[in-house]
Amino acid sequence: MNFSSTGAVYSAKFKSRVLASQIADADRHRFFIGSSCLREGNEIQLVEFNEDMMVVEAAKSYFHAKEITALAPSPVDSDLLLTLANDGESGLWRCPGASDSLELDDIDPRPVPMERVATLTPRGCIKNFSWQSQGSQKVASFGSHLSVFDLTSDAARVSFEVKVGEHGPKCVSKGGCWDPHSAYVVAAVHGCGAVGWDTRVSKQAFSIIDAHQNATRDVDYNPNKPLFLASCGDDRLIKFWDLRKKSQPVKVFAGHSHWCWTVRYNRFHDQLVLSGGTDSLVNLWRCSSISSAPLLELDTTRVDSGDGIIRSYTEHEESIYSVAWSACDAWVFASLDCSGRLAINHVPSTEKYKILL
C-alpha cells in the first residue's frame, strides 16, 4: 500500500478487472476485487479503506478457482455475493466473515472457501448481472437473454426471460442495470445501443438503437431523476438520455482518448458522474444542468457552474474496467485497472460544498 497525491493506492495480489462496492455496509468503505488469472487459483479480496489513516487493507480473501468476469454484492446482506466466471459459470455465494470488523492483528492472507447458495442457470450465456435496487430477492442477468431470477434461501428461479437480439454476436448483452425508480424495468446494453424491458408485461420500455459507435459498454440510471440514463462506449463519449425523447442525447461529454468502458452516477448526488476507460483515466464529471438539483456557489446564489470535467485522476497505468462509489460516504470512490491497482479518491471539497450549501 502507498499514497497518491489525492488518495490511497492498493495493489491486489493478482491481475484484476472487476470491482464492486459492498453496498450493504453503509458504515465502512469496503470493496470487492475479483482476480482475472488464466490459471486456476483466483481470489476475491474484500478490502477496506481507512479514511482517517488513508490506508487500504485486505479484510478478507476468498478462493474462486476460475477467472472472475463479474461481481455483484447483495444490496442488503453483506455476506452475499454473485460471481461470474470466464466460462459463464455463475454462483450466489455466502462469504464467511464479510460483515466482520477488520482487526489488523488477526488478518490472515490465506483465502477461505465460500459457501454456494444457488446457481443462476438462464437460457443461453451470462455476461453480467445486477441486483434489483429496491430489494434483495431479484437479480437480472445479461447475455444472449435478459433473465430475471427470484432468489430464495437456497434457489434461483427464472421469473422473466427474453432474447436480447435476433442476429449476430452483437445480440449478446454484456451488462445493464435496474431502474431505481421502478421495480420492473431493466436496462440492457445491446450492440451499439441500449434497450429497456418492462418485466411485468414482457415488452420494451425503451430502445436507443445507435447510442455509440462500434459498441455501447455501460449504462447507469440517474438515481434521483426518473427517466434519465447515462451511457458510454467505444466512441470515447459519455451520453445522457431523456428516455421520453430518445432521438438525441440531452448532453454529451468527451474526455477520454480511448474506449470509455464504465460510467457510474453518484448514488446520492446526481450532479456527479464517474467514468473509466482503456486510456487509464478516471474522470469525475459535473452534470448539474440535467440533475435533480442545480449547484450553488458558496454565497448560496444559484448559478450555472458549467457542466463538464471536474478532475482527471491519473494513478493508473493500465486499462480501467471498473469504478465504484463507496457505500459509506458519497464523496469517496474507487477505481481498478487490469494490473490489480486500486485507487481511492475523494470528490474535491470545493465541489462538495457547492452541492451541500
For 18-29, the pLDDT digits (tens) are 999 999 999 999
| pLDDT at residue number 302 | 47
Residue 11 parent element (H or E): strand 8-11
Out of 36-40, 120-124, 196-200, 287-291, pick the least confident: 36-40
Choose between 6 and 109: higher pLDDT.
Answer: 109
As a whole number of Å, the CA-based R_g of the chain is 19
| pLDDT at residue number 170 | 52
Q: Is residue 294's pLDDT more than 90?
A: no
Q: Is residue 298's pLDDT more than 50?
A: no
| Burial class for 260, CB neighbours closer than 10 Å (0-12, 13-18, 19+) | buried
What's the grid cell of residue 287? 452534470
Q: How confident is the model at residue 163 (pLDDT cuts 50, 70, 90)?
A: confident
Cβ neighbours of residue 248 under 8 Å, at least 6 residues apart? none
Q: Is residue 303's pLDDT more than 50?
A: no
Q: How confident is the model at residue 6 (pLDDT cuts 50, 70, 90)?
A: low
DSSP string for 117-172: EE----SS-EEEEEE-TT-SSEEEEEESEEEEEEE-SS-EEEEEEEES-SSSGGGS
Instruction: Print the SS3 string covering 162-173.
Output: EECCCCCHHHCC
| pLDDT at residue number 107 | 63
Burial 120-145 (b: 16+ CB within 10 A, else e): bebebebbbbbbbbeeeebbbbbbbb
Q: How confident is the model at residue 301 (pLDDT cuts 50, 70, 90)?
A: very low
DSSP string for 170-229: GGS---EEE-TT-SSEEEEEETTEEEEEETTTTEEEEEES-SSSS-EEEEEE-SSSTTEE
| pLDDT at residue number 92 | 94
Q: How confident is the model at residue 165 (pLDDT cuts 50, 70, 90)?
A: low
The whole model's pTM is what? 0.92
Out of 6-10, 67-71, 265-269, pick the least confident: 6-10
Tell me the mean pLDDT in the region 39-54.
89
pLDDT digits (tens, 9 = 90+) for 169-186: 455 788 999 999 998 999
| pLDDT at residue number 201 | 86
Domain ranges of the chain: 10-88+99-119
Distance CA 60, CA 106 (A): 11
| pLDDT at residue number 2 | 39
Q: Residue 19, SS3?
A: strand
Q: Residue 349, SS3?
A: helix
What's the grid cell of residue 206? 425503451
Q: Is residue 141's pLDDT more than 80?
A: yes
pLDDT above 70 as % of the chain: 91
Residue 346: C-alpha distances to residues 159, 207, 278 (Å): 40, 35, 21
DSSP string for 249-307: -SEEEE--SS-EEEEEE-SS-TTEEEEEETTS-EEEEE-GGGSSS--B-TT--B-----
Look at the block and give the residue holding cell 461470474. 84
Q: How confident is the model at residue 52 (pLDDT cuts 50, 70, 90)?
A: confident
Beta carbons of 304 and 286 less than 8 angstroms apart: no
* Strands, sheet with 176-178, edge to edge from the N-terminal-most edge strand: 176-178, 185-190, 193-198, 203-208
Within 10 A of 254 (CB to CB), how many other CB atoms are there? 13
Q: How confident is the model at residue 104 (pLDDT cuts 50, 70, 90)?
A: low
Quote the mean pLDDT of the chain.
Answer: 89
Q: Is residue 73's pLDDT more than 90?
A: yes
